[in-house]
Structure 1
Amino acid sequence: MGLLSTQSYVQSLPKYIALCERNYLRLLKLLPAETVGACHEYHFAGEHYRLVVKNCEKYTTDVDLIKDKAIHTELPLWQLTLRLYHDAKVAEVVYPNYHQRVRPSYGYPNPDMHQKDEKYQVNAFLSDWLCACLENGRSTFHWDVNNDLV
């Protein structure tokens, strides 16, 4: 019995889209003004994070989620680049700082040790981070019936 899996991973698209839709709604609550360079800081669990708007287009907004202090001196600063797709109302991680473009699935094992469902896991991590930020009182809710959130 070999270590190489012969079955390829097939991502559940409805499950992934639902996760990205929830991330979009949560990010709208935390996002600073949608102008390039806008920044909003969050403090919780003794850590300092920033959401910085990097690019705004008609249908997309790119945002960096940055942890300002490295966990350890040997580790790089933690950062995720997020893209909000306003026409589809979804948000996903597009460039985590540890590798370029997260693919939907990876063969396993692989030289870079990516998980089979790494794209889903990275976006689930974003979901957990957004929930933690919202639930710990570091952001106020801005419900507006005119922007289709309610």
Structure 2
Amino acid sequence: MTYVTAEQRYIQSLPKYLTLCEHNYVRALKLLPQERQVDQERKVQLGSSTFVVKIDNTAKYTMDISISQEAGHVHSVKPLYLTVRMYHDAKVAEIIHHDFHQRIKPSYAYPNPNMHQKDEKYQLNAFLYDWLVACVENGRAVLNWDVNNGLV
């Protein structure tokens, strides 16, 4: 007698994922530059690392921002680079690219040649959530004081 086993496909919990993306949206708004125009940026210092949050593109209902590590690199670890799309109508934010790679698929077959996890998209957005929480609670905005304009 031969048994055939059905391969278990990864099925993402949509309510859990949307809740995560809603939390990311609220926290990402706090890190955006005050002037929300293309090429505006804000620097955030977290520990010995400095990150840049830059507005790459804006549209009526969306905004693409990039988060990159400017200083505080760890030897043998690539500096952080994420592209996050914020959907203002749905009030969610999710990673669409990481480390200059192609778009992230909702799920991956496993095993695969690039060794992506089945739930890689969820894991990356969970990482974004943790990073945003750390920045909002413990980060410091790097202020660019302009002494010549009488601000100080």
**What's the TM-score, normalizing by structure 2?**
0.83
Higher Cα Rg, which structure: 2
Identity %: 51
What does residue 29 of structure 1 align with? 30
Give the CA deviation at 1:49. Answer: 0.3
Measure the CA separation in 2 of the matches of 1:102 and 1:137: 28
What does residue 57 of structure 1 align with? 59
Measure the CA separation in 1 of the matches of 2:69 and 2:59: 25
Measure the CA separation in 1 of the matches of 2:19 and 2:80: 25
Considering fraction of residues, name the structure with more strand.
Answer: 2
What does residue 71 of structure 1 align with? 74
What does residue 128 of structure 2 align with? 126
Give the CA deviation at 1:94. Answer: 0.3
Q: How many residues align?
A: 134
Q: Please list every run of 5 or more consecutive structure 1 residues that lacks an aligned counterpart in the other structure.
A: 140-150
The alignment partner of 2:125 has SS state of helix
Q: Please list every run of 5 or more consecutive structure 2 residues that lacks an aligned counterpart in the other structure.
A: 1-5, 142-152
What does residue 13 of structure 1 align with? 14
Q: Which whole-Å deviations, capped at 9, do the CAs of 1:98-140 have from their partners, x for residues lacking one?
A: 531111111111110000100000000000000000111525x
**What's the TM-score, normalizing by structure 1?**
0.84
The alignment partner of 1:81 has SS state of strand
